[in-house]
Structure formats: C-alpha cells, structure tokens
Amino acid sequence: MDEAFYDFACDYQSIVPFMGKASNVVVLRSMTKMFSIPGLRLGYMMASEGLIERATALKPHWSVNALAL
C-alpha cells in the first residue's frame, strides 16, 4: 500500500493496524511529502520481519544520497 500522501487525505484510515493479520502486506511512506523536502527522495517501508529481510538483501548498500543521509 502506497501511503505517501496519507497526511493530506481527510479521514484516511491507514492500513498499518491491519499489518499483523497478514504477513504479505507492505506499507510505503514518503518523508519528502510529510516534511516538505522534495528532491531528497527519502521514505521508508513497513512490513513483516521476513519481508524486510528479503528487501534488505536486494537493496544497494547506499540506497540514499549523501544529502539524505
């Protein structure tokens, strides 16, 4: 579920509370939208431990630029 713009939606119900019921749910959020820092391309993923381990094995060591770090 892409929740990059969830802060801007009125009465939005996040899927995060339901993540414990299914191990295949991934929620993506963008910090660039929430904190008004366009161009930084900084966000995060919430998922089960197994999915995070699999995603971590696939990502490059430096997945964000120096400014975001």
What pLDDT is attached to residue 53? 94
Residue-wise pLDDT for 29-63, tens only, equals 988 877 888 777 788 999 999 999 999 899 877 77
Residue-wise pLDDT for 5-32, tens only, equals 888 888 989 989 888 888 899 999 988 8
**23 belongs to a structural domain:** yes
**32 belongs to a structural domain:** yes
Range of the domain at 11: 6-58
Please report, for residues 4, 6, 40, the alpha-carbon distance to residue 63 in angstroms, rounded to integers and kept in the order given. Answer: 18, 23, 12
**1 belongs to a structural domain:** no
> What total number of domains does the chain contain?
1
**26 belongs to a structural domain:** yes
User: End-to-end distance of the chain based on CA atoms, in angstroms?
Assistant: 25
**67 belongs to a structural domain:** no
What pLDDT is attached to residue 26? 94
